[in-house]
Amino acid sequence: MSDLEERARELDAADQLAAVRGDFVLDDLDHAVYLDGNSLGALPVNVPGAVEDVVRRQWGELRIRSWSESGWWTAPERIGDVIAPLVGAAAGQIVVGDSTSVNVFKALVGAVRLAGGPASGRDEILVDASTFPTDGYIAGSAARMTGCTVRAVAPDEVPDALGPRTAAVLLNHVDYRSGRLHDLPGLTAAIRAAGAVSVWDLCHSAGALPVGLDAHGVDLAVGCTYKFLNGGPGSPAYLYVAERHQAAFDSPLPGWNSHAEPFGMRSAYEAADGAVRGRVGTPDILSMLALEAALKVWSRPDVSVDAVRAKSLALTDFFVECVTAYVPEGRVEVVTPAAHGERGSQVALRCADAGEVMERLIAAGVVGDFRAPDVLRFGFTPLYLGFADVERAARVLARELG
- Quick: pLDDT tens for 236-253: 999 999 999 999 999 999
Are residues 309 and 255 both part of a single domain?
Answer: no
d(CA 335, CA 316): 13
Give the confidence band of 290 by pLDDT, cuts at 50, 70, 90: very high
Which residues span the domain enclosing 197? Answer: 50-299
**How far is the C-alpha of 185 from the C-alpha of 78, rounded, in Å?**
27
Averaged pLDDT score across all residues of the chain: 97
- Check which CATH number belongs to the domain holding 325 and give it: 3.90.1150.10
For residues 391 and 323, membership in a common domain is answered with yes
Annotated catalytic, 377?
yes
Quick check: is 37 in a domain?
Answer: no
Query: Do both 236 and 177 map to the same domain?
Result: yes
Residue 177 CA to its chain's centroid (Å): 13
Look up 326 and say whether it is catalytic. Answer: no
Per the CB < 8 A criterion, the answer to whether 102 and 135 are in contact is: no
Indicate whether 54 and 159 sit together in one domain. yes
Cβ-contact 153, 198 below 8 angstroms:
no
**177 classed as catalytic:** no
Which of 19-27's residues contact partners 24+ apart within 8 Å by CB, and which partners? 19/302, 20/297, 20/300, 20/302, 20/303, 20/383, 20/384, 21/383, 21/384, 21/385, 21/386, 23/297, 23/300, 23/383, 23/384, 24/230, 24/383, 24/384, 26/384
Query: Which residue, of 265, 299, 333, is where some domain finishes?
Result: 299
The domain boundary residue, chosen from 299, 317, 345: 299
**364 in a structural domain:** yes
What digits encode the pLDDT tens for the residues 357-379?
999 999 999 999 999 999 999 99
Which pLDDT belongs to residue 31? Answer: 73
pLDDT at 395 over 90: yes
Residue 28 has pLDDT above 80, yes or no: no
Whether 108 and 125 have beta carbons less than 8 Å apart is answered as yes
The one catalytic residue in 36, 135, 201, 389 is 201
> Greatest CA separation found in the chain?
72
132 is catalytic: yes
Judgement on whether residues 286 and 180 belong to the same structural domain of the protein: yes
List helix spans (H) across 169-327: 184-193, 285-294, 305-326
Mean pLDDT on 256-282: 96
Instruction: Express each pLDDT in 170-223 by its tens digit.
Output: 999 999 999 999 999 999 999 999 999 999 999 999 999 999 999 999 999 999
Taking the C-alpha atoms of residue 55 and residue 327, their distance in angstroms, rounded to an integer, is 49
Instruction: Choose the catalytic residue: 177, 180, 377, 395.
Output: 377
Residues 237 and 89 in one domain: yes
Q: Are residues 20 and 54 part of one domain?
A: no
For the segment 158-166, the average pLDDT, to the nearest whole number, is 98
Same domain, 285 and 307: no
DSSP 23: G
Final residue before a domain boundary, out of 299, 333, 349: 299
Q: Choosing from 24, 105, 132, 378, which is the catalytic residue?
A: 132
Over residues 6-11, the mean pLDDT reads 98
Catalytic residue chosen out of the listed positions 226, 240, 319, 378? 226
Relative to beta strand 333-334, strand 346-350 is antiparallel
| Catalytic residue from among 165, 177, 227, 392 | 227
Q: Identify whether residues 23 and 169 lie together within a single domain.
A: no
- Give the confidence band of 165 by pLDDT, cuts at 50, 70, 90: very high
pTM of model > 0.85: yes
Cα distances (Å, whole numbers) of residue 26 to 34, 187, 294: 9, 39, 15
Of 313, 311, 315, the C-alpha closest to 302 is 311
Question: Which CATH number does the domain housing residue 267 bear?
Answer: 3.40.640.10
Q: Is residue 42 part of a domain?
A: no
